[in-house]
């Protein structure tokens, strides 16, 4: 991704832009580009939650090739509802509903992965 530094913006300022998409690119003081990436997740621990316990699912984060492990025991950073039962990402809901998505969004900074959101982790709801 070509980075436009022609405006001599300060490192980390929104003045640094990706020329192709004309979007801001954040650059850390160390010079490492902070980026978002689509990933796949597999549940590696935790529980669904209930009306008296919090959901505590954790995930192994993999590259889209589904074999390269990027991080383990990651807790999604998007807040969950309190005392609600959840489907985990990739769980088979049975019948016509099928599996929930394993697709997720992660942030990468200096080689470290932080799981932001699992698109297939959804609250169970009996009401329609």
Please compute, for residue 127, the number of CA atoms within 13 A of its CA located in the half-sphere on the CB side: 0
At residue 111, does pLDDT exceed 60?
A: yes
Our count of domains for the chain comes to 2
Residues contacting 45, CB < 8 A, separation 6+: 56, 57, 58, 73
Nearest Cα residue to 89 out of 114, 51, 123: 123
In DSSP terms, 117 is beta-bridged to 105
Whether residue 87 sits in one domain with residue 62: yes
| pTM of the complete model | 0.71
Domain assignment present for residue 107? The answer is: yes
The larger pLDDT score, comparing residue 97 to residue 7, is at: 97
The larger pLDDT score, comparing residue 85 to residue 128, is at: 85
Domain assignment present for residue 128? The answer is: no
Residues contacting 65, CB < 8 A, separation 6+: none
Whether residue 41 sits in one domain with residue 82: yes
User: Which two three-digit tokens encode residue 22?
Assistant: 């004309």
pLDDT of the residue at 17: 45
Structural domain of residue 43, as residue ranges? 34-123
Q: Strand 112-118 vs strand 69-74: parallel, antiparallel, or unpaired?
A: unpaired
Whether residue 44 sits in one domain with residue 106: yes
Decide if 70 contacts 61 (C-beta within 8 A): yes
Whether residue 95 sits in one domain with residue 38: yes
At residue 15, does pLDDT exceed 60?
A: no
At residue 12, does pLDDT exceed 60?
A: no
Whether residue 53 sits in one domain with residue 24: no
Whether residue 62 sits in one domain with residue 85: yes
Q: What percent of the chain has pLDDT over 90?
A: 61
Residues contacting 4, CB < 8 A, separation 6+: 16, 17, 18, 19
Domain assignment present for residue 14? The answer is: yes
For residue 100, name the pLDDT band (cuts at 50, 70, 90). Answer: very high
pLDDT of the residue at 94: 87
Whether residue 66 sits in one domain with residue 26: no
């Amino acid at each position: 991704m070509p980075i436009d530094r022609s405006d001599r913006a300060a490192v980390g300022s929104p003045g640094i832009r990706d020329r192709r998409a004309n979007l801001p690119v954040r650059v850390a003081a160390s010079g490492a580009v902070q980026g978002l990436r689509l990933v796949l997740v597999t549940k590696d621990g935790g529980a669904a939650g209930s009306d008296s316990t919090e959901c505590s699912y954790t995930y192994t984060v993999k590259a889209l090739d589904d074999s390269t492990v990027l991080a383990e025991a990651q807790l999604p950073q998007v807040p969950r509802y309190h005392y609600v039962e959840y489907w985990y990402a990739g769980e088979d809901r049975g019948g016509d509903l099928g599996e929930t998505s394993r697709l997720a969004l992660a942030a990468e900074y200096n080689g470290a992965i932080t799981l932001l959101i699992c698109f297939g982790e959804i609250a169970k709801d009996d009401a329609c």
